[in-house]
Chains A and B, each alone.
Chain A
Amino acid sequence: MGLKQNLHNFKEKNKDKKWLPLFSAFHTFLYAPNEVTHNGTHIKGADDLKRTMNTVIMALVPCLIFGMFNAGYQHYLAIGEINSVSGGFFSPEFWNAANFWVGFFKILPLVLVSYGVGLGIEFIFAIKNGHEVEEGYLVTGMLVPLIVPVDIPLWMLAVAVIFGVVLGKEVFGGTGMNILNPALLIRAFLFFAYPTWMSGDKVWVHGAVERTNEIAAGSSADVISGETILGTLAQGKEVVDSVWDMFYGFIPGSVGETSTLLILLGGLFLIFSKIGSWRIMLSAVAGALVMGLIFNFAVDAEWITGSSKFYGLMSTTFWHHLLIGGFAFGVVYMATDPVTASQTNKGKWIYGFLIGFISILIRVFNPAYPEGVMLAILLMNVFAPTIDHYVVQGNVKMRAKRLKAKTA
């Protein structure tokens, strides 16, 4: 009798115990359950929830590792110990062990807190309600550390995760029932609750806040200013980073969202494995480009002049919007969340397009919330069922009309 059979027997023996969901969770995580349906013919798909989740996590790992290197790179660059990258994507200034270890020790705790707290809550609710633990948190837990600034205090992250998982998901009935994307809800909570840790020019580079405090206490060190590209543009200043730097991701920002290149690869992986919806991604990009073009047109037509406070972001070349901020990350990994997005194909086009369109709108017109994509996705999450409703009704009407024409 092997280990697998032993574990199964153990589960059978303790059927009525309160803590069984806890055991089952680890059991199903390690082994495929050996229970099968007994009657009728079933088609068995290999892409169960667990595999779907794992595919998304695989697509996220490059962003996580890049984020670790980038955290160290931005840190050393800011204190002047290394030069900025010179040789394209594989520059040795970026890909070295010193950078990696700084980022690793800053970001690993974020990942651990995110998973520890989030799964803890899932276990508590599973035991309380007596159902199996769901895999829903696996992806959220990986997304959360990637969309926060590197220096965010761990207790804040824990509070936000509790808020996001309990009020964003469990009150609605757990995985698959949530209206809003939990990872974005967690970020929105952090953003509104602790704005000093989530925005401004001090939070994006590891060590910048500490350094500022030291200077305030009388140290002679230089101030680290790690403004994001969006922040720089919103203030109407000149951007120093090249477009290639933005594309490769050698810029300050939240942990895992800077590298458009890796996000693009992750997005292609999700499309080819049929996990992420290409309709949403494509239409969101289209929406952003349209909005960007409208703004560029307004600038070209000289409706907006240099004296306007919106000039900096409105005059940004329209396709640069895709490279800066969390737009690419949000569109690829969060707008495509199958639970909160529109379900119908036509609905997905509308949903995606509006996300792109509104993101850039918020980004440009509300300098207080430079990251529009978070709010745009949350807004469209709320509207997704409405969009679906009208798409389905439209289809019903069309078919009814066709039937009438045929029978008449």
Chain B
Amino acid sequence: MGLFKDSNLITDPLADNNPITIQVLGICSALAITAELEASIVMSIAVLFVLGVGNVVISLMRNIIPSKIRIIVQLIVVATLVIIVDLVLKAFAYQLSKTLSVFVGLIITNCIIMGRFEAFALANRPWRSFLDGIGNSLGYAMILIIVGFFRELLGSGTLLGMEVLGNPIDKTGVYAFGYENNGFMLLAPMALVTVGIIIWVQRSRNEALIED
């Protein structure tokens, strides 16, 4: 029963309480690593792991952490988890960890993680905190993947490294008709614009989200 009762902890962050588009947290990584879809997906999985486990750990410790040093305790938990992710990536996907470079390390400073620790895990039981962590990282992942999809498709003409629009040098596929890749999509400003368009679409579909 508990699973169904708390299912809104998973579904809310996917839509009307999305961490990126509504809470406006974790924008920095959404701009930095979404030029390729693969990097977006790996980043999403990394955040899913860190936030899911981190929320549970913080929730378990919530009654014994003195509130004056809670930020330091939170940082240590995140840092430990991020180092695990970083080492796993270096061991099993070295090229990818090169692409993500410092941004894996910067998960520590990802506002979503500290935000959820502070706002949720410190005041809720482990199972609910776990669901909240999973829900928020899925909401984060959803935006990252949408942005990564459009940026890679329009910017490089590929998806996950595969040439879906043809080869720009041999002029096959749509390139034969004079189409060209949009180099602007690979630059960070267009990530911001893409996130902006998602926010625009989302708010125009749901009047309750419009702020004055």
Contacts and interface: CB of A to CB of B under 8 A. Distances in A.
Interface of A: 153, 155-156, 159, 167, 171, 189, 192-197
Contact of B182 (A153, A167, A171, A194): A194
7 contacts: A171-B200, A192-B183, A192-B187, A193-B183, A193-B184, A193-B185, A194-B180
Interface in B175-198: 178-180, 182-185, 187, 189, 193, 196-197
Interface in B157-210: 178-180, 182-185, 187, 189, 193, 196-197, 200
Contacts of B185: 193
A193 B182 contact: yes
Interface of B: 178-180, 182-185, 187, 189, 193, 196-197, 200
A192 B200 contact: no
Interface of B is mostly: helix
A153 B184 contact: no
A158 B16 CA distance: 34
A102 B171 CA distance: 28
Given A155-B178, A171-B200, A192 B184 contact: yes
Contact of B183 (A159, A167, A195): A195
B183 A194 contact: yes
Q: Which of A153, A155, A159, A193 has the most CB of B within 10 A?
A: A193
Minimum-distance CB pairs A-B, first 8: A193-B184, A192-B184, A193-B182, A193-B183, A153-B178, A194-B180, A195-B183, A192-B187
A189 B180 contact: no
B187 to A, nearest CB: 6
Contacts of B183: 192-195
Contact of B184 (A155, A171, A189, A197): A189
Contacts of A195: 183
A111 B129 CA distance: 58
Given A167-B193, A171-B200, A156 B184 contact: no
A156 B180 CA distance: 9
Nearest to A192: B184
A194 B182 CA distance: 6
A200 B28 CA distance: 33
Contacts of A153: 178, 180
